[in-house]
DNA sequence: AAGCTTATTGAGATTGAATCTCAGTCTAAG
DNA sequence: CTTAGACTGAGATTCAATCTCAATAAGCTT
């Protein structure tokens, strides 16, 4: 199954005079197989396990490329290191984070998106991405 | 001028069996004098300039206390280090960040707050804080 | 005011994520 | 096939943040 994300990456690299190397290919393929949020070290560990030989440096160098290509996005940190998730081909969503058990709830609200557009317009601001994180207790933890 | 924030800090410390030291006092007083967002190193530098002798370690140790006391809050990072702002005694607000010039626009929307409450309720989630950051171009940068 | 318990401090060491260096390697265009 | 120059990996480096621990000081108690 030819992935549209790989195509997008290839085209992005081409547009920047960058090259699609074995390492970058291994990284994006691994990212596409993942579900949920991930971090660079996790990626490095798993890729080694897979037999792929990709250095930590290449992981850290490739992540910003995937971000700039619009394929992944940084998810703000509960932890102290960066977390990412696949976005190209997925529906946009925001997050609720349970501060007790760590559960992550993904949600989407059309009304929320429209309201943000209106608020931007009121400031003459041209928004082109946003992050909304709500912290609190999930349904299981809050009784 | 007696600051309600200092009172809150004193009470918080007391409730935790912690002590109000010269260093902690110098730090909160400096924070109360600041406008806008700040980071720990900036605080350290400015306090030294003021003649106060407060170590970097004490800055980093006091910040989480101020956060737990509800006096300051972390503002998510454009940079790679943490930024904070005073919240106790100020109206809650969210941020728009201009990715070109770095301008920070603070805004508040009652409707946005209510909508978030509704979304939390729909998930059985008890939200108790949130961060909304909209990235894009400010009115000056977007023409 | 003096004594005492224990939280706190500062200087410097340490951690850990992220970035950089650079000689050897590989991609992709011609 | 050749070649220019992008890319890689190992290890060094940076930098924010945290930790260590002996010396201090906060704030009770008498
Ligand atoms: Mn997500
Ligand atoms: Mn603010
Ligand atoms: Zn939970
Ligand atoms: Zn701007």
Tell me the per-residue pLDDT of A57-85, one tens digit each, with 9 for 90 and over. 999 999 999 999 999 999 977 778 999 99
Q: Give the structural domain span for A116.
A: 94-142
Residues 6 or more apart whose Cβ sits within 8 Å of residue A64: none
Residue A52's closest CA among A13, A22, A8?
Answer: A22
Say whether both A38 and A106 belong to one domain. no
Last residue of a domain, one of B70, B86, B102: B86
| Alpha carbon distance A108, A87 (integer Å) | 14
Say whether both A44 and A6 belong to one domain. yes
User: Which two three-digit tokens encode residue B132?
Assistant: 């909304």
How remote is the C-alpha of B110 from its chain's centroid?
Answer: 20
Q: Mutate which of A125, A130, A142 to test chain B, going by most B C-beta atoms within 10 A?
A: A125
Closest residue, by C-alpha, to the C1' of C16: A81
**Mean pLDDT score, B64-74:** 97
**Helix or strand holding residue A37 (H, E):** none
Asked if B39 CB < 7 A from strand D, the reply is yes
**Helix or strand holding residue A6 (H, E):** helix A4-15
Say whether both A9 and A60 belong to one domain. yes
Per-residue pLDDT 10s for chain A (143 aa) are 558 999 999 999 999 999 999 999 999 999 999 999 999 999 999 999 888 899 999 999 999 999 999 999 999 777 789 999 999 999 999 999 998 888 999 999 999 999 999 999 999 999 999 999 999 999 999 98
CB contact under 8 A, B76 and A131: yes
Say whether both B78 and B98 belong to one domain. no
Confidence of residue B13 (pLDDT cuts 50, 70, 90): very high
Smallest CA–C1' separation from B24: which nucleotide?
C8
B82 near A CB under 8 A: no
- C-alpha B136 to ligand 4 mean position (Å): 8
Residue A80 confidence (pLDDT): 84
Give B119's contacts in chain A (Cβ within 8 Å): 107, 109, 112, 134
CATH number at residue A126: 3.30.1490.190
Say whether both B79 and B101 belong to one domain. no
Residue A45 confidence (pLDDT): 96
Helix segments in A50-135, DSSP class H: 56-68, 110-123
A49 near B CB under 8 A: no
Say whether both A21 and A71 belong to one domain. yes
CB contact under 8 A, A136 and B124: no
**Mean pLDDT score, B14-24:** 98
A41 near B CB under 8 A: no
In chain A, the percentage of residues whose pLDDT exceeds 90 is: 88
**Mean pLDDT score, B48-60:** 94
User: Which two three-digit tokens encode residue B108?
Assistant: 């508040």
Q: What residues have a C-beta under 5 A from ligand 2, the ion?
A: B 85, 106
Residue B1 confidence (pLDDT): 56
Q: How many domains does chain B have?
A: 2
């Amino acid at each position: 199954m030819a992935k549209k994300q790989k195509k997008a990456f290839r085209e992005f690299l081409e547009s920047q005079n960058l090259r699609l190397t074995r390492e970058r290919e291994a990284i994006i393929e691994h990212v596409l197989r993942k579900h949920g949020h991930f971090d660079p070290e996790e990626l490095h560990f798993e890729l080694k396990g897979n037999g792929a030989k990709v250095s930590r440096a290449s992981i850290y160098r490739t992540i910003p490329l995937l971000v700039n290509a619009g394929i992944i996005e940084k998810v703000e940190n509960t932890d102290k290191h960066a977390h990412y998730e696949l976005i190209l081909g997925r529906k946009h969503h925001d997050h609720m984070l349970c501060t007790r058990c760590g559960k992550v709830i993904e949600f989407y609200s059309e009304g929320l998106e429209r309201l943000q557009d209106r608020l931007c317009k009121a400031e003459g601001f041209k928004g082109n991405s946003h992050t909304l994180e709500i912290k609190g207790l999930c349904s299981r933890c809050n009784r």
